[in-house]
C-alpha cells in the first residue's frame, strides 16, 4: 500500500514600513532676511552690503524609512524520513522443499507398517521423529509411541494414536504437495474411486457414510502376476500374499473419517473391505464377533489402474 503525504507551504510576504515626511502648510518658511522696503529706518549712506542673505540650507538627508525585510519566507521543510516499515524477514520462506525429508519419512513409515516388517518399522519411526518440523513434532512423538504399543501387543490403535495420526496426516496434506483421493464408504460400496488414479504420493481421505464399520485396503498386483483379482481372492491367504503388495489402509466408524498416506506406483490395484457384515458400533462395543461374510463379497470392492 502506498502512502501519500500532502505538504502545505506557507508563503509569508515581507512588510515594508515607509514613514512619510514633510509639512502640508502653505505658509512660506522664515528665511530671516530684512529687505529695504520693509525697513522704516533711513537708508544707510554706507555702500551696499556685499554679504549674501543669511538663509538656512535645505536639508539633504533622505526621509527616514525602515529597510524592507530581506529574510526569506518561513516554510516547513518537507519530511525526508521514509515511511516506517517492518524490516524484511531474513528467514527463508517455508516451501514444500523445506519438508522433503519429513514427507519422505512419512511415506517410509506407511510402507513399513503396511508390509508388517518389524526390521523396517523401527528405523522408519526414528527417521520420522528426527525429520519432524517443530510444529508437528509433538503429534509425531505421540503417534509413534502409541503405535509401538499396539503393534507390540497386536492390538488396535488407541484413541490417542488416532488423534495424533490425524494431526500428522493433516500436516502432510497441507505441506507435502501430495495428491488426494477422497473415498466415500457405504453399506456395501466405495465411491470416489475412478477407473484411473494418478501415480505418486497420495493422501487418502476415507469417510464412512454407512451404518457399519468400514475399512479400505489398497492392494497392488505384482508385475509378474497374470491372475485376475477374483482369482487371487479365491486363493489361500499365504499363496495370494506372494502375488500382491498392500499399499495402504484406512478405517472409520459410521459417521467418522479416517486417513492414510500412500505412495501409489503404477500398476493394477483393487480396493477392498474385509470387515464382516453385521459389525456395527454396538456389536463392536459388546465384544461379539459377527459371522457374516467380508464386505467385499457383498460388493465392497473396486478395481482401478494407477498411471
Spatial distance between the Cα atoms of 163 and 171, rounded to a whole number of angstroms? 13
Helix or strand or coil: residue 251? strand
Task: Using alpha carbons, select from 151, 175, 185 the residue that is nearest to residue 274.
Answer: 185
Question: What is the reported pLDDT for 202?
Answer: 98
Domain ranges of the chain: 96-177, 178-307
What's the confidence (pLDDT) of residue 293?
96
| Pairwise CA distance, residues 264 & 285, whole Å | 34
Cβ within 8 Å of residue 211, ≥6 positions away: 187, 254, 280
Q: To which residue does cell 494431526 refer?
A: 167
Q: How many whole angstroms separate alpha carbon 252 and alpha carbon 306?
A: 24
Cα(42)–Cα(36) distance, integer angstroms? 9
10-residue mean pLDDT profile of the chain (307 residues): values are: 30 31 40 38 43 46 51 55 56 60 95 88 95 96 94 88 95 96 97 97 97 97 96 95 94 95 97 97 93 96 98
Say if residues 218 and 250 touch (Cβ distance below 8 Å): no
| pLDDT at residue 95 in the model | 46
Closest by CA position to 169, among listed 125, 202, 147, 120: 202
Name the CA dihedral angle for 115, 120, 126, 127, rounded to a multiple of 10 degrees: -80
Q: Are 261 and 201 in contact (CB under 8 A)?
A: yes
Q: Give the per-residue pLDDT at 36.
A: 36
Predicted confidence at residue 249, as pLDDT, reads: 93
Q: Which of 131, 125, 130 has the alpha carbon at shortest distance from 146? A: 125
CATH of domain 178-307: 2.60.40.420
3-state secondary structure of 84: coil
Amino acid at each position: 500500500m502506498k502512502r501519500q503525504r500532502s505538504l502545505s507551504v506557507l508563503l509569508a510576504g515581507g512588510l515594508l514600513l515607509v514613514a512619510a515626511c514633510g509639512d502640508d502648510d502653505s505658509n512660506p518658511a522664515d528665511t530671516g532676511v530684512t529687505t529695504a522696503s520693509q525697513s522704516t529706518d533711513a537708508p544707510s549712506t554706507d555702500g551696499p552690503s556685499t554679504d549674501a542673505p543669511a538663509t538656512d540650507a535645505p536639508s539633504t538627508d533622505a526621509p527616514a524609512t525602515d529597510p524592507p525585510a530581506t529574510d526569506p519566507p518561513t516554510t516547513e521543510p518537507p519530511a525526508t524520513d521514509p515511511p516506517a516499515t517492518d524490516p524484511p524477514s531474513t528467514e527463508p520462506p517455508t516451501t514444500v522443499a523445506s519438508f522433503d525429508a519429513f514427507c519422505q519419512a512419512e511415506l517410509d513409515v506407511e510402507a513399513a507398517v503396511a508390509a508388517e516388517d518389524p526390521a523396517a518399522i523401527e528405523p522408519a519411526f526414528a527417521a520420522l521423529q528426527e525429520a519432524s518440523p517443530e510444529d508437528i513434532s509433538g503429534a509425531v512423538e505421540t503417534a509413534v509411541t502409541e503405535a509401538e504399543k499396539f503393534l507390540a501387543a497386536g492390538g488396535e490403535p488407541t484413541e490417542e494414536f488416532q488423534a495424533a495420526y490425524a494431526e500428522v496426516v493433516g500436516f502432510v496434506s497441507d505441506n507435502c504437495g501430495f495428491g488426494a483421493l477422497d473415498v466415500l464408504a457405504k453399506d456395501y460400496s466405495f465411491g470416489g474411486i475412478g477407473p484411473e488414479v494418478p501415480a505418486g504420493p497420495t493422501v487418502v481421505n476415507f469417510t464412512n457414510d454407512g451404518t457399519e464399520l468400514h475399512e479400505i485396503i489398497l492392494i497392488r498386483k505384482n508385475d509378474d502376476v497374470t491372475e485376475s483379482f477374483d482369482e487371487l481372492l479365491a486363493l489361500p491367504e499365504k499363496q495370494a500374499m506372494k502375488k500382491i503388495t498392500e499399499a495402504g489402509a484406512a478405517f472409520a466408524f459410521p459417521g467418522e473419517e479416517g486417513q492414510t498416506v500412500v505412495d501409489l506406483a503404477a500398476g493394477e490395484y483393487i480396493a477392498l473391505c474385509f470387515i464382516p457384515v453385521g459389525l456395527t458400533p454396538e456389536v463392536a462395543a459388546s465384544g461379539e464377533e459377527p459371522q457374516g461374510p467380508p464386505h467385499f463379497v457383498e460388493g465392497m470392492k473396486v478395481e482401478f489402474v494407477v498411471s
